[in-house]
Chains A and B, each alone.
Chain A
C-alpha cells in the first residue's frame, strides 16, 4: 500500500496544522514544549491519518487501536491531531495547560478525548504498550498498539526492560516510533548521553527495526505498512527528525525543547508556517 496523492496532501496539511498549533498552544499557555511536536509532526500525522484506527465514532470501542505518547511532554502535537480527527473542538486547544482543562501539561488518560494513557515521566510508556498489546493478543483482537518514544527517552533503562519483554512475548501488534532529533532538554543528545544506533539496539533486542527520514511521509507510511506484515516481532521505526521543523529560528535548537515562543516569535513562526 502506498499513499495516494490525496492522502499525502492531507497528511502534509495535518502536519503543518500540528506545527502551527504547537506554536499557538504553547504561546497561549506561555509555557510547554513546542519543538518536539513540530519535529514529530510528519510521522505522527502519517500514523494518525493513515494507520491509527481511532476516530470520534470508535473512541469507546475496546477493540480499536491504542496510542501512547511515551515522550508525553510533546502532547501539543497529540492534542492537535485528536482535535483534527474530531475527538474534541479545536477551540479547546488554546486551553492547553490551563486550570480546569482536560488538556493537561502532560497527557492524562481520558477515553472521551481519545487519550489512552497518562504519561509524562519518561520511560514508562513502552511498558504499558507491552501490556496493552499482550491483552489484545490474549483476547484475539486485531488491535494494534502504537507507542511514540524518543532518543532522549531511550536513556531510561525501563525502555530496554520493555523492549526485552515485547520481543519475548512476540508482540507483532506493537510498534514504537522513536523521535530521533539528537536534542534533549540539556543540549545535544550525543553530548549529554549518546544512545548510539537505536535501530541496531532494537534489532539486537529481537525487534523488526528500521531507520526512516522522519519527514518523508511516504517512507514513514511504508515503515508502518512493513510493521503490519510482521507476525512474530514487534517493530521499531526510528524516525530521524529535526526539532522545531518548519520554522527557521527553531530548527535543531535545544532551546526550543521546553520554551514557549513569545507573541512576536509566535507571529514570525506562524508566518513561516503559512498561517
Chain B
C-alpha cells in the first residue's frame, strides 16, 4: 500500500516506563491554572481527595467550594458562578458527574453555553474493586450527545495536563474524562495537544487503531505484539473525542483499509461510534469496536478487568487480527 505522505509522529516518552494517573495531572494542572487565572473556581462534591482538587482548595480556599454529596446542585452552582464571569471546574467521579447530574449539565450548563468544565475522575473499568456502581462506562456517550459539549479523554498524565489547560483556556463547556489508575506515560514532554486533533503515536499501514484514555497504552502494546507477526498497526490517540479529528481518521482508513477503536467504555455511543460516524460518510472500511458490549463491569483488580474484557494488549491484538482477516475475505 502506498504511503500517501510522510507523517510526523507525536513525540513519545522514551526510557524507563513512568506511571502516573491522569487525575494526578489534573490536580497539578489546576494549581498552575489557579495562579494564572484569578477567575478560576473549582467545585467538588465531597471527593476532593480522590479527584485531586484538594490541593487547589488548600492553595486557593476562597475559590474552592466543596458542595457536599450533591452533584446536581454542584452543576447548578457551577453554572451560576460561570454566569458571573468565572471559569469553573466541577469535579466528582464520572458516574455521578455525568450520570446523576446529566440533566443539570445539559440544562444549566450546556443550554446557556456556560464556561464550565466538568472534569470527572474514576471513569471506566479501572476503578477496579469498587465494582459496577462506580465503573462509569457510559459517560462519553452521555456527554458527547449534548450540543456544544466538547469531550476530551487524555491518554496519560502528559496529555491530561495539556487537555485540562486547553479546556480552561477555551470558552464554553467541556467534559474531561480522567482515570483513577496509574498508567504508563505515553507522550514525551514536548508533545503539543490541540482540541480537535488526534496524534499518530505509531505508524503502520495494515490496520489503524483509534484509542482514547488508558486504551492508547494498550493499543501500543497490541501494536508491538502485532509487529512480531508482521502486522504494522497505526495507533492514533484521539483524546479529542468531540470535536473529533475527522481528517486524521479518514486518512488512516484510506491508508490502512480497516479501522479498530478501543475504549474503556460501552461500544454504543462512545469513541467507536464517533469514529464510525466519520467513516460511514467519508471512507467506509471494515471496522471493529473494542469496549464493553452492552454489559456492566464487576469488582476486581483494574488490570485483570481490562484483560478480562479483551481490552489489554493481547486482547486488542486478537481483535485486530480478526479484523484484518475479515478485510482479506
- Chain A residues near B (Cβ < 8 Å): 62, 66, 108-109, 116-121, 123-136, 138-139, 157-158, 161-162, 164-165, 168-169
Other than the given A128-B108, A131-B81, 10 more pairs (CB < 8 A) read: A62-B84, A117-B108, A118-B112, A121-B103, A124-B104, A128-B80, A128-B83, A135-B86, A138-B62, A139-B84
The verdict on B239 contacting chain A, using a C-beta distance below 8 Å, is: no
Q: Are B112 and A127 in contact (CB under 8 A)?
A: no
Residues of chain B contacted by A127 (CB below 8 angstroms)? 72-77, 79-80, 104, 108
Min CB gap B109→A, angstroms: 10
Across the interface, do B86 and A124 meet the contact criterion of CB distance under 8 Å? no
The residue on B at minimum CB distance from A136 is: B84
Do A132 and B83 have beta carbons less than 8 Å apart?
Answer: yes
Nearest B residue to A168 by beta-carbon distance? B68
Over the window 71-96 of chain B, the binary record of Cβ atoms lying under 8 Å from chain A Cβ atoms (1 yes, 0 no) is 01111111111111110000000000
With A128-B77, A139-B84, A164-B70 given, is the CB distance from A134 to B104 under 8 Å?
Answer: no
A-B contact pairs, 12 of them (CB 8 A): A62-B84, A119-B107, A124-B104, A124-B108, A126-B76, A128-B76, A131-B77, A131-B81, A131-B83, A133-B80, A135-B85, A164-B70
Could you tell me the distance in whole angstroms from the C-beta of A72 to the nearest C-beta in chain B?
Answer: 10
Residue of A nearest to B110 (CB): A118
Least distance between B92 CB and chain A CB atoms (Å): 13
**Min C-beta distance of A23 to chain B, whole Å:** 28
Residue in B closest to A158 when the chains form the complex, CB atoms: B72
Contact yes or no, A165 B67, CB < 8 A: yes
Contact residues in A for B63 (Cβ distance below 8 Å): 138
Q: A117-B112, A118-B107, A138-B62 are in contact. Are A131 and B70 (CB under 8 A)?
A: no
Residue of A nearest to B65 (CB): A134
A135 touches B76 (CB 8 A): no
Query: For the complex, what is the distance from the CA of A169 to the CA of B62, rounded to whole Å?
Result: 12
What separation, in Å, do the CA atoms of A127 and B86 have in the docked complex?
16
The B interface is mostly helix, strand or loop, or mixed, namely: helix
Contact partner, A108, options B74, B83, B111, Cβ 8 Å: B111
Q: Hey, which chain A residues are within 8 Å of B73, CB to CB? A: 127, 130, 158, 161-162, 164-165
Chain B residues lying within 8 Å of A135, measured Cβ to Cβ, are: 80-81, 83-86
| C-alpha gap A130/B88 in the complex (Å) | 14
**Interface residues on chain B, number (Cβ under 8 Å):** 28
Contacts of A126 in B (CB 8 A): 76
A117 lies within 8 A of B83 (CB): yes
- In the complex, the chain A residue whose C-beta lies closest to that of B43 is A131
Complex Cα gap A119–B74 (Å): 16
A66 to B82, CA, bound (A): 13
Q: Which residue of B lies closest to A123 (CB)?
A: B72
| CB-CB under 8 A for A162 and B81, given A120-B107, A121-B103, A124-B104 | no
Query: What's the nearest-Cβ distance from chain B to residue A176, in Å?
Result: 13
How far in angstroms is the closest Cβ of chain A from B99?
15
> Min CB distance, A116 to chain B, in Å?
7
Are A130 and B80 in contact (CB-based, < 8 A)? yes
The 7 closest A-B pairs by CB, nearest first: A131-B80, A127-B76, A135-B84, A161-B73, A131-B77, A161-B70, A132-B80
B104 touches A62 (CB 8 A): no
- In the complex formed, the residue of A with least CB distance to B111 is A118
Q: Tell me which residues across on chain A come within 8 A of B107, comparing CB atoms.
A: 118-121, 124
When chains A and B are docked, how far (Å) is the Cα of A129 from the Cα of B82?
11
Query: Smallest Cβ distance from B295 to chain A, in angstroms?
Result: 30
Chain A hits for B108, CB < 8 A = 117-118, 124, 127-128
Known: A118-B107, A124-B104, A161-B70. Is A130-B84 also a contact (CB below 8 A)?
Answer: no
Q: How far is the CB of A224 from chain B (nearest CB, A)?
A: 21
Closest to A111 in B: B83
Bound Cα distance from A119 to B86, whole angstroms: 20
Please report the C-alpha to C-alpha distance between residue A136 and residue B83 in the assembled complex, in whole angstroms: 11
In the assembled complex, the Cα of A131 lies from the Cα of B70 at a distance in Å of 14
Docked-complex contact A131 and B111, CB < 8 angstroms: no
